[in-house]
A and B are shown apart, each in its own frame.
Chain A
Amino acid sequence: MSALPGRQVAPVEATSDVRRVRPLLVGAFAAAVAVAVVLLAVPAGRLTSPGPLARPHALAGVPCEGCHGDRADGPASGKGCVTCHAAHPSTRAGHRALAARGALGCPTCHTAHGGAQGVTFAPSGEALRWWSDAEQSLPGRGPPGATVALVPLTACARCHDASRPDDPVRACAGSGAAAAFAVCFDEHQLPEEPLPARGKCAHQHGPARFVAWEAAQAVASDPASHPPSTARARAPWLWVGSSMAAGGLAFAGAAVAQRSRRRRAREGLPPAAAPRRIRLPRIDAVRCLGCQACVDACPFDVLAVERHVAVVARPDECCGVGACQDACPNGSLRLTELGAPVGDRPRVDERLESLDARGVFVAGDLTGVPLIRNAILQGTAVADRAVASIPRAERVRRDDAKRVDLAIVGAGPAGLAAALRAEQLGASYVVLEQWTIAASVRAFPRGKIVHDPPIELPLEGALWLRESTKEELVAQWTRIVRAHRLDVREHHRVTGVSGSAGDFSVSADTPQGPRVLRASRVVLAIGRRGTPRPLEAAIAPAAATRVVHALSDARAFAGKSVLVVGLGDSAMEAVLALARQKGTTVTLSYRGAGFVRGRAHNIDQVQRLVASGRVRLLLESQVTHVDERWAVLRTPAGVEKVRVDAVLALLGGEPSRALLEAAGVRLEPV
């Protein structure tokens, strides 16, 4: 079975291709419902009406039942017309015969909806041309008060064909603009019975009726006479438009809801507990499949498969996050917490508060739990607890320049996370940093991928990027510090902490000289890097600047000769970065006899470089002297002189014990 180091399992992905269908269906359904609701709200008559009501009827407010009887959705028979207009039977024999059989009624010719039109002369005698839902003033005069209905030829089309020259309708039809309707001078006789009171209609049927007919035809023939373009039915557009809008909104809403649900599902995992103690995987050798899932899940090569069973090969490197436990397919690997705390780390309680100096909290690498991710978790948790432990009455106002709630020492991932949380909680705080933001992360080799564990952990706030290089991470943090206006004071080196919970005095060396700050609680997030361990060699004063303790950009050393001292992960990563540069000569010196620690991947790569002659490895060697051009090493083979432009001493660092002791924080006995 070949090992497949570093490969990650592709997570199941619900792409937009798959997700998109549901909002589409929701949108369609909403549109259908919306149009149905709109139609229910519209009076039934309007749904069936073939067009807008004739204008005189509309102005007179004739109700639907007036013409249609009780049923508003069937065609009107014409019986209702007589109640207002009285009976005006046709003078033509054919029409009378049809009317007698019930095949012809008033609405047959005088379509009250859609096609209705005519001319009305105002009391002043001015002409008003009207259609179903529009009117237009036109020049021309007629008998005041007279209204002449014009019959659209489409109403006659059921029986007559106006295009035939011998059709009787031809005689009535107008010409020009009036060609689409007829004025039937001799169609009706006067009402057979007296009109009710004969009041309203009396003036319609006087001798001037003929004049009115003529005048109306003249007005209607006017080329300027045409229905205005606004006379289109707007209602259908409104109905359909509203349903489209509803559908669109529902589509968008469903898509947004889906997205936020997915985000919640991703982020809504219970917040991970800030790991406090060392945890180690324990493997049930009988049930272990030897499938390597845990080995690949582990970012630190803690696990290995030997004889088809996983074993904990390098317990010191375990981060306790539990990627291996989650990766194990059959639960044969479980993380178990070690009973006793590990030595040489601050004595803290469950809340990461020092047991010996109450009010002093510890977060980050200092607690012995590695990983940037853990540091962020712990920083957030510690800020929560520290702020919660200050009684409300003792909280400091944020504009108080002399006192703060939290003094956070160190602006690494833990310190920044604590500051961010304090900012969110509205507590007053200050971050004191001896160098710059995330100095230890900055010192990683250029382009180093800051590890992204292969499992979905809950997000720890804004500080984490999914997978990023060190540059991106530092840039992101700097952006966050600026965006949230975090009070980070760089180049403030804390020299001592005194006092007790509620009233600490934090003294610091600042560029403006020593200052003392008072704080209710202190968070120590100073990491384990502390001060780099110095190179124990005689260094000529002129060469002092040539000895550096961090490699931030290997490109600066292109074409130079570099001596790297140390064989830890950071030294090996530096060697890898340097060897990639053009023309760089790299010599690697180490006290020990071989590779003892570090990630397998790094060891592999360095050994490859050494085998290919790209890097010279001097084991069991000790740098004794460095001057401007040369470094002198004592090796088993004798004294050796190596030409160097720079010496990179990556010997690890010691935590600032002095500060811990000054603050009263005691370490676990080893």
Chain B
Amino acid sequence: MTSWPRAVWQSPWLRGLDGHARAQIESAGCMRSLARGAQVFAAGEPADAFFVVGEGLVDVRAVRRGDAQATAIRRAVAGDALGEEAIVRAGVARAGEATCATDVVVAEVPVAVFRRAAERAGAPQAAALEQALRRAAAGDVLRSSALARALSERDVEALLACTEHRSLTRGDVLFQQGEPATHAYVVADGMVQVQTEDDGRVQVRAYLARGDLVVDDAVDSGGPHEISVTACGPAWVLAIAREPILRVARRSPEAMRRARRLASSAPLPEATRHVLGDLWRFAVAGSMLVIDDEACVRCGHCAWSCAEAHGDGVSRLVRRGEKVTVRDTTDGSERALVIPGSCQHCKHPACMIECPTGAIGRDPRGQVFVREELCVGCGLCAKACPWGSVQMAPRKPDPGKRSPVLASAAPGAAPRHEPQSAAVAVKCDMCRDLDGGPACVNACPVDAIARVEPEAAMADVRKAVGGRAPRQGLPDQRVAWPWVAGAAVFAAAAARAPATTWGARLATGLLVGALFLALAGYMVVKRTRLVRGNGRSGVRPHTIAHLALGVAAMGVVAAHAGAKLPPNAAGALVVAFVLASLTGVAAALAYRLVPRALARVERHARLPEDLPGRARELDERAFGALTGRSDATKAVYGRLLAPYARAPLGWLLLVMRGATLRDEEKRLRGRVRRLLGPRAETLDGLDDMIRLVVERRAVAAQRVLQGTLRAWVPAHVVAVAAALVLLVVHVVIVARGR
């Protein structure tokens, strides 16, 4: 009834499973025959199955932490298991590679099926089997860790006896400052960060990755930890009791010292605003959407074009997110970037791992996508994504469509079909159905938005994760001013030669008409994606053309119409054109000047509709922070800080001063200090309060500046619409008059 070799079913990993469970595993798994030299699996592959050798020999090799070359770790014979790490955490990256030393027959057992079969069949050994696999996996981790050189095979066995597995999700605490040290830890997968907490402010001191040993002095002394360790992302850690580790340390102190890579040095630079504040996010991103904060004109075309491109009115991109400063890998220049809410196509996507139906996939180019027909709308992916980049949207109504019911829900039952769920997971799919790359990147009028691989484009990330991707800088903006200046010269020349003869007026009129149509065509071009970029950086020649043609058209109109304003349709056309030009010029100037000012007064990129709520929230937080404080603090707030936050034209001062929020905080702190003298140091919570009021004032500035950026385009569009109608009337009248 089962076809797999006895050696497989008699191995310690599968022994004791009943016939039903065996059948299930056989139907889901497969038996592979491999020639000598073939790979069973390669390092870095996501693991979702383990292997049991049926016959032959397999070598397991891995790069030890700190080494450059792979080392042989062990040799598996018939009945041994390979790649057991899959049992600990689904989707974990394989630590080593397995190569066949002879011709080999090997059974591949998908972990999910193994576990379900064992548990649902109620096999009493299920827990024991899993325990054995975990122990084997831990052995491989220890043999390839930084500690490996200090360990003999007997040590490994001894340590395994007192090793536990800890599976952490993002933000989980491994241990906290002040807790007594009971274990040493080895990072088996993922990344953890070592941090110290000072008054609630976190300072990251080091990042530890696969194979690293997490040990501080407290483990030696048995005292309380002086550091905290939290998981940056999903991580798997081996916890080894203190005593055996100390025994190993006493025997080979040198190897132990080398293995302890704990940075006790200074904290990483500017951890809060720096990209290293959340290195994990950048390290796992395959393709991250970034917006150059000093160039972005907040027009929202990216989000709009995303909703359009997907045809369901749901934008996969929300222009709101953290701001970071990074250095470019190619020229080393510092750039302020916004990381908007959009999928970053992780190298080991949590959403894909969590999806119970396999609806999320990752294609060979690294793009993570959702298969809508398989999605049951359970929302697990949305919860799994640490950055909230997956949203649950209403499914486009299509009552005829039905989705296959899942095999797991009804084992052995005849296939049924159920109506599709009402909700469906949506996320950025890099516009894989469209030619020419992501719609958002192509739609940006100012080349501010781009998809980059952080490891290739950001120098700090590259250094921290030891990136091997080819260098690729952050995209630059296209320069527009030479074109506009040239057009302005042409316009000035044209305006000086007014058309007096009929022929000249006809010629200039035709030219104006053509220019006008070309200008209005911009509206169509930018909406229909007729112009496409190369996918990495949008090519925006049509915006530059619009600016240059607009300036040129002003000169030609002046030549065509002269200085007079006749009280007829032609005069109205001139008026409409003048209004359109003025609003256009105002918009262009705002686009050029405001983003920089706005970038200075922002800590976090927000949408205009967030700002009123944000102001209220800051007020309430200030009151919340004030309760229970000393009278002196309350007095300082009432006399100095509240008037500062609420000053009617405070935002104008903030913008005009051109200072960053950090400078502004420093200035305000100076004022408090001058007012109170040395007593200022004793005020509790003053720094928090200053941060809040400065941000409160900055919110007002942001509202005005965002309004300035956005107000001109509606006026411009309205004037252009009027002008287009008038142009038609004018042309008809002139044609009929002749």
Q: Which residues of A contact B (CB under 8 A)?
A: 1-2, 4, 7-18, 20-21, 23-24, 27-32, 34-36, 39, 46-52, 73-75, 114, 157, 232-237, 239-240, 243-244, 247-248, 251, 286-293, 296, 307-308, 327, 329-330, 469, 471-472, 475, 553, 555, 611-614
The reply to whether B624 and A469 contact each other, CB–CB distance below 8 Å, is yes
The reply to whether A29 and B721 contact each other, CB–CB distance below 8 Å, is yes
In the complex, what residues of B have CB within 8 A of residue A12's CB?
314, 391-394, 426
Taking the closest CB of chain A, its distance from the CB of B627, in whole angstroms, is 7
In the complex, what residues of A have CB within 8 A of residue B315's CB?
13-15, 17-18
A23 to B, closest residue via Cβ: B714
In the complex, what residues of A have CB within 8 A of residue B729's CB?
39, 47
The reply to whether A15 and B300 contact each other, CB–CB distance below 8 Å, is yes
B608 at the interface (CB under 8 A from A): yes
- Measured in the bound complex, the distance between the Cα atoms of B378 and A289 in whole Å is 9
The reply to whether B307 and A286 contact each other, CB–CB distance below 8 Å, is no
Given contacts A8-B383, A612-B176, A613-B179, contact A329 B378 (CB under 8 A): yes
In the complex, what residues of B have CB within 8 A of residue A240's CB?
572, 575-576, 579, 719, 722, 726
Given contacts A49-B566, A157-B500, A289-B408, contact A15 B607 (CB under 8 A): yes
The contact of B376 among A307, A329, A472, by CB within 8 Å, is A329
The contact of A234 among B380, B384, B567, by CB within 8 Å, is B567
Taking the closest CB of chain B, its distance from the CB of A235, in whole angstroms, is 4
Given contacts A4-B384, A329-B378, contact A290 B722 (CB under 8 A): no
The reply to whether A13 and B568 contact each other, CB–CB distance below 8 Å, is no
- Measured in the bound complex, the distance between the Cα atoms of B421 and A28 in whole Å is 39
The contact of B714 among A24, A288, A308, by CB within 8 Å, is A24
- Measured in the bound complex, the distance between the Cα atoms of B300 and A10 in whole Å is 20
Taking the closest CB of chain A, its distance from the CB of B112, in whole angstroms, is 8
The reply to whether B313 and A18 contact each other, CB–CB distance below 8 Å, is yes
The contact of B567 among A49, A73, A555, by CB within 8 Å, is A49
Query: Which chain B residues numbered 542 to 581 have a C-beta less than 8 Å away from chain A?
Result: 564-569, 571-576, 579
Taking the closest CB of chain A, its distance from the CB of B688, in whole angstroms, is 14
The reply to whether B356 and A39 contact each other, CB–CB distance below 8 Å, is no
B306 to A, closest residue via Cβ: A18
B719 to A, closest residue via Cβ: A244
The reply to whether B303 and A251 contact each other, CB–CB distance below 8 Å, is no
Query: Which chain B residues numbered 563 to 604 have a C-beta less than 8 Å away from chain A?
Result: 564-569, 571-576, 579
Pairs across A and B, CB under 8 Å, 28 listed: A2-B167, A2-B234, A7-B384, A12-B394, A14-B314, A16-B300, A17-B607, A18-B307, A20-B710, A23-B714, A24-B717, A28-B720, A28-B721, A32-B725, A35-B721, A35-B725, A75-B737, A235-B572, A236-B575, A244-B722, A247-B719, A288-B409, A290-B408, A329-B376, A329-B379, A329-B423, A553-B628, A612-B176
The reply to whether B379 and A233 contact each other, CB–CB distance below 8 Å, is no
In the complex, what residues of A have CB within 8 A of residue B627's CB?
471
Closest 10 A-B residue pairs measured CB to CB? A17-B300, A233-B567, A247-B718, A17-B303, A236-B571, A291-B378, A28-B721, A236-B572, A612-B179, A329-B378
- Measured in the bound complex, the distance between the Cα atoms of B567 and A46 in whole Å is 7
Q: Which residues of B contact A (CB under 8 A)?
A: 89-90, 116, 119-120, 167, 169, 176, 178-180, 234, 299-304, 307, 313-315, 318-320, 341, 354, 356-357, 376-380, 382-384, 388-394, 406, 408-410, 418, 421, 423, 426, 500, 564-569, 571-576, 579, 607-609, 620, 623-624, 627-628, 710, 713-715, 717-722, 724-726, 729, 733, 736-737
The reply to whether B313 and A14 contact each other, CB–CB distance below 8 Å, is yes
In the complex, what residues of A have CB within 8 A of residue B574's CB?
236
The contact of B737 among A16, A30, A48, by CB within 8 Å, is A48
Taking the closest CB of chain A, its distance from the CB of B711, in whole angstroms, is 11
The reply to whether A4 and B380 contact each other, CB–CB distance below 8 Å, is yes
Given contacts A31-B719, A47-B729, A289-B408, contact A236 B388 (CB under 8 A): no
The reply to whether B356 and A291 contact each other, CB–CB distance below 8 Å, is yes
Apart from A289-B357, A327-B379, what are 8 other A-B pairs with CB-CB below 8 Å? A10-B390, A17-B302, A52-B567, A235-B567, A235-B572, A244-B722, A247-B721, A612-B180
A471 to B, closest residue via Cβ: B624
Given contacts A27-B714, A247-B721, A329-B378, contact A236 B565 (CB under 8 A): yes
Taking the closest CB of chain B, its distance from the CB of A647, in whole angstroms, is 22
- Measured in the bound complex, the distance between the Cα atoms of B573 and A290 in whole Å is 67
In the complex, what residues of A have CB within 8 A of residue B120's CB?
307-308
Given contacts A4-B169, A308-B119, contact A243 B567 (CB under 8 A): no
Binding site secondary structure of chain B: mixed
Q: Which residue, B300, B313, B627, B722, has most C-beta atoms of chain A within 10 A?
A: B722
The reply to whether B714 and A50 contact each other, CB–CB distance below 8 Å, is no
- Measured in the bound complex, the distance between the Cα atoms of B564 and A52 in whole Å is 12
A50 to B, closest residue via Cβ: B566
In the complex, what residues of A have CB within 8 A of residue B391's CB?
9-13
- Measured in the bound complex, the distance between the Cα atoms of B579 and A483 in whole Å is 47
A287 to B, closest residue via Cβ: B409
Taking the closest CB of chain B, its distance from the CB of A442, in whole angstroms, is 12
A286 to B, closest residue via Cβ: B410
Given contacts A233-B565, A308-B119, contact A17 B304 (CB under 8 A): yes
- Measured in the bound complex, the distance between the Cα atoms of B569 and A28 in whole Å is 19
The reply to whether A24 and B713 contact each other, CB–CB distance below 8 Å, is yes
The reply to whether A248 and B715 contact each other, CB–CB distance below 8 Å, is yes
Given contacts A244-B719, A289-B406, contact A239 B572 (CB under 8 A): yes
- Measured in the bound complex, the distance between the Cα atoms of B527 and A24 in whole Å is 13
In the complex, what residues of B have CB within 8 A of residue A114's CB?
564, 566
In the complex, what residues of B have CB within 8 A of residue A24's CB?
713-714, 717
- Measured in the bound complex, the distance between the Cα atoms of B424 and A475 in whole Å is 39
Q: Which residue, A18, A24, A36, A611, has most C-beta atoms of chain B within 10 A?
A: A18
In the complex, what residues of A have CB within 8 A of residue B725's CB?
32, 35-36, 39
In the complex, what residues of B have CB within 8 A of residue A233's CB?
565-567, 571
The contact of A31 among B384, B571, B718, by CB within 8 Å, is B718
In the complex, what residues of B have CB within 8 A of residue A469's CB?
624
- Measured in the bound complex, the distance between the Cα atoms of B356 and A292 in whole Å is 10
The reply to whether B609 and A15 contact each other, CB–CB distance below 8 Å, is yes
Q: Which residue, A10, A73, A296, has most C-beta atoms of chain B within 10 A?
A: A10
In the complex, what residues of B have CB within 8 A of residue A2's CB?
89, 167, 169, 234, 354
The reply to whether B304 and A18 contact each other, CB–CB distance below 8 Å, is yes
- Measured in the bound complex, the distance between the Cα atoms of B572 and A34 in whole Å is 13
The reply to whether A15 and B303 contact each other, CB–CB distance below 8 Å, is yes
- Measured in the bound complex, the distance between the Cα atoms of B409 and A423 in whole Å is 53
- Measured in the bound complex, the distance between the Cα atoms of B571 and A473 in whole Å is 61
Taking the closest CB of chain A, its distance from the CB of B437, in whole angstroms, is 19
In the complex, what residues of B have CB within 8 A of residue A48's CB?
568-569, 733, 737
The reply to whether A289 and B383 contact each other, CB–CB distance below 8 Å, is no
In the complex, what residues of B have CB within 8 A of residue A329's CB?
376-379, 421, 423
- Measured in the bound complex, the distance between the Cα atoms of B606 and A638 in whole Å is 60
The reply to whether B392 and A11 contact each other, CB–CB distance below 8 Å, is yes
Q: Which residue, A17, A48, A75, has most C-beta atoms of chain B within 10 A?
A: A17
The contact of A16 among B356, B571, B572, B607, by CB within 8 Å, is B607
The reply to whether A28 and B380 contact each other, CB–CB distance below 8 Å, is no
The reply to whether B718 and A251 contact each other, CB–CB distance below 8 Å, is yes
The reply to whether B178 and A289 contact each other, CB–CB distance below 8 Å, is no
- Measured in the bound complex, the distance between the Cα atoms of B118 and A308 in whole Å is 12
- Measured in the bound complex, the distance between the Cα atoms of B567 and A239 in whole Å is 10
- Measured in the bound complex, the distance between the Cα atoms of B380 and A232 in whole Å is 69
